[in-house]
Structure 1
């Protein structure tokens, strides 16, 4: 679908900060509030704007740190549906946050979240690896997030107090 320049500009603004008031967006693009509301409703109805998300640094919430793993999956595609069928089976699991078709040594990249490493291991061994089309998996545990979806974590968290010594 071909979008107008203003629609693309609004998408860029919303992608960077989905909580901006309509009034602010309207001023930024030089349009009326009503025009911006109409454009956003159009983009939502066309599923170009799919969802509004919040990024949470769960490491800072005691007892809710959890474990995130990236799993490389090698699969056998099915005739007529390619990778879509197995990808759909995988993304329906509640633990799965993302599924991507990849080029390279593995076919799919799956991002999952669990409370513990054991929970992630159980998912891989009991649910993912047992699917008919799955040939092999390689699991990578995320140890620390530095940047996620354009947001830098721990930016400006260092202690800025002046050291005073006797």
Structure 2
């Protein structure tokens, strides 16, 4: 298997289960554990794999988190476009994600904070005062159904009657 193909296979498997053991991964791919470790190191050095993560349902732990999506209209900076402002925004610790968007707004900023007040403070004290920010529209996530491919709802028991001909 070519190294590029091996890397793609590794990434595909890790995207579904980042806790898989190196030896199990090697067995699945028909290569040695050393070959997998070498490819993992290279994938991380090239910043193809950026981190290994866990999706947490904070509500089940009794901890409330507030998730907000903020649409931002900006004036692009000469020579930098949207990149310079996006970089300033994604450096704030409460910012979970930043995307450049097509459509009415230029950037979409995702926040993960502990209160509605924290969202308000972020928008009024940090985001809106930035040069080039023209306007913002804030949306609050009321319920998460699925994130990063993980379904949050408990599996439902099918209550329908089985009818066979």
What is the TM-score normalised by the length of structure 1? Answer: 0.90
Identify if the C-alpha distance between structure 1 residues 3 and 120 changes in structure 2 by more than 3 Å, giving closer, same or farther: farther
- Cα distance, 1:155 vs. partner? 3.6
Q: Which residue of 2 aligns with 1:138?
A: 137
Aligned pairs, how many? 158
Q: Which residue of 2 aligns with 1:85?
A: 84
Secondary structure, counterpart of 1:47 in structure 2: coil
- Cα distance, 1:119 vs. partner? 1.4
Q: Distance in 1 between matches of 2:118 and 2:107?
A: 21
Q: Which residue of 2 aligns with 1:109?
A: 108
Q: Which residue of 2 aligns with 1:98?
A: 97
Unaligned runs of 5+ in 1: 161-166
Residues 119-139 of structure 1: per-residue CA shift (max 9 Å, x gap): 111111121111111000110
Q: Distance in 2 between matches of 1:86 and 1:46?
A: 25
Secondary structure, counterpart of 1:135 in structure 2: strand
- Cα distance, 1:118 vs. partner? 1.4
- 1:5-154 aligned at under 5 Å gives the runs 5-62=5-62, 64-154=63-153
Q: Distance in 1 between matches of 2:4 and 2:88?
A: 36
Unaligned runs of 5+ in 2: 159-165
Secondary structure, counterpart of 1:60 in structure 2: helix
Q: Distance in 2 between matches of 1:151 and 1:85?
A: 32
Residues 47-76 of structure 1: per-residue CA shift (max 9 Å, x gap): 1111111110011122x2120000000001
Q: Distance in 1 between matches of 2:123 and 2:67?
A: 13
Q: Which residue of 2 aligns with 1:164?
A: none
Secondary structure, counterpart of 1:98 in structure 2: strand
What is the TM-score normalised by the length of structure 2? Answer: 0.90
Instruction: Spell out structure 1 runs of 4+ moving beyond 2 A.
Output: none
Secondary structure, counterpart of 1:4 in structure 2: helix
